[in-house]
Amino acid sequence: MKKLILFFIVLILAVFIGSLMYLDPGYVLISYKTWTIETTLWAMLLAILVLYLILYFISSLWRGTRSLTRHVQHWSRQKNLEKARKLANSGAILWQEGKLPQAERQLIKAAKYNAASFIDYVIAAHIAQQQKQYHKRDTYLHKAQKAVKGSEIAVSLTKVKFQLHSNQLEQALATLMHIRKSAPRHPYALKLLARTYTELNEWDKLQKLLPTLHKLKVFPIAELAQVEQQTYLELLAKTQDVEALNKAWEQIPRQLQRNYELILAYTKVLLQYPEQHPVIEKLLRSNLNRSWDSRFLDIYGNLANTDSCLSKHLKNIENWLKQNDDPALFLCLGRVCRKLQLWGKAKNYLETYLPLDKNNSVAYCELGQLMELMGDQNAALENYRKGCQI
């Protein structure tokens, strides 16, 4: 019904326009230089309409062609992505199955079909690393970096981890120094740098890095404490004389100078120099008065000094015994009394200690030495025997 009404409307308009054309065809004259065009108004309007339709057709054809091209390109991209996905999945499966060369080939093929091929190249680098093909590994990492803008640091850190795993320590350090130029406060880069310095035994450099590790909270507190302890232990161990040792000790932060392992490392070297024993005694006494740790007593009781100094040591230990019920104090008192030739007190202290710690072979040896000095060879041998049986 609508089509019929539309037909009648068009027919009426055609009759109306036809009558207008018959009554007055109009006149149009176009003149340019020596050229002139004469025609009726209606013929000119018809020519303009035809020209418009031709231009509209050409425009529609052009838009259609471009749309078809876009559809073809989209279809091609989707096809390539699907192919890349299948190849990447196949490569990942082969990788997990341990078929490394086949996995590597599949992933590189996948990367060629996928513009965003970062993951493919990184996995290929992993596979090359497992095969110890380090040049290919670095090539794949470089391609991964080019695949995604802004991935330089991530790729470089991956490279460092590979280099550390392969014991390429100098190369890892060079890569980390390059990262520090663009990202000097990157936490993970700093963590890997600390590890690299540790592997290279670059303890002086690691010591200089410690304030930054603290400030940026690169490690958990407990882990950072271990890093600090190891660093200063190594620095103390590498000293060649007392002067260098004391200088290294002074560089240790004050709160760490209360660390048992560091004090032990420091005093072990100082014990070789009798003139330094007063320094050890002062250090141990200060730490014991501040925070009790019976492990220090083993060193304190073995200090060699004059009788006057040993008498002061004895007085200090007896004062500690009034404040603490630590069994190790009896062993320490026994040692000091033996050095002062207070045989009876030494024997009493050692015999008081042994029932409290029957598995301490050193205590039996101490008592054996004391009994030998007192002339009781049978008792000395008996205590030596008990010490050897533990």
Structure tokens at 305: 């000094």
- The pLDDT, as a whole number, for residue 205 is 96
Residue with tokens 């007896």: 318
Residue at which a domain ends, from 97, 121, 149? 149
Answer yes or no: is 67 within a domain. Answer: no
Residue at which a domain ends, from 149, 168, 200? 149
- The pLDDT, as a whole number, for residue 23 is 64
Stretch 293-309: mean pLDDT, rounded? 81
Task: State pLDDT tens for residues 119-148.
Answer: 778 888 888 898 899 999 999 899 888 877
Q: Is the pLDDT of residue 78 over 60?
A: no
Q: Which domain holds residue 105?
A: 78-149
- If one compares 234 and 86, the residue with the highest pLDDT of the two is 234
The rounded distance, in Å, linking the Cα atoms of 259 and 266 is 11
Structure tokens at 310: 């040993």
Strands 28-32 and 35-39: antiparallel
Answer yes or no: is 160 within a domain. Answer: no
Three-state DSSP at 38 gives: strand
Report which residue type is found at 3: K
CATH assignment of the domain containing 138: 1.25.40.10
Q: In the structure, what pLDDT confidence band is assigned to residue 347 with cuts at 50, 70 and 90?
A: very high
Q: In the structure, what pLDDT confidence band is assigned to residue 358 with cuts at 50, 70 and 90?
A: confident
- The pLDDT, as a whole number, for residue 107 is 62
Q: Is the pLDDT of residue 116 over 60?
A: no
Average pLDDT, whole number, for the chain? 83
- The pLDDT, as a whole number, for residue 36 is 78
Answer yes or no: is 126 within a domain. Answer: yes
Task: State pLDDT tens for residues 214-248.
Answer: 999 999 999 999 999 999 999 998 888 888 999 99
Answer yes or no: is 246 within a domain. Answer: no
Q: Which residues, 6+ apart, have CB-to-CB distance to 248 below 8 Å?
A: 232, 235, 236, 239
Answer yes or no: is 334 within a domain. Answer: yes
| DSSP structure class, residue 219 | S
Stretch 353-371: mean pLDDT, rounded? 88
105-114, 176-185, 339-348: least confident range: 105-114
- If one compares 71 and 281, the residue with the highest pLDDT of the two is 281
Rounded to two decimals, the pTM is 0.67
- The pLDDT, as a whole number, for residue 71 is 66
Answer yes or no: is 100 within a domain. Answer: yes
Q: Is the pLDDT of residue 168 over 80?
A: yes
Stretch 340-348: mean pLDDT, rounded? 91
- The pLDDT, as a whole number, for residue 253 is 92
Stretch 102-115: mean pLDDT, rounded? 64
Structurally, how many domains does the chain consist of? Answer: 2
Answer yes or no: is 107 within a domain. Answer: yes
Residue at which a domain ends, from 149, 171, 194? 149
- The pLDDT, as a whole number, for residue 11 is 66
Stretch 58-71: mean pLDDT, rounded? 75
- The pLDDT, as a whole number, for residue 360 is 86
Task: State pLDDT tens for residues 12-29.
Answer: 776 666 666 566 666 666
| DSSP structure class, residue 258 | G
Answer yes or no: is 198 within a domain. Answer: no
The rounded distance, in Å, linking the Cα atoms of 266 and 263 is 5
CA atoms within 13 A on the CB side of 107: 27
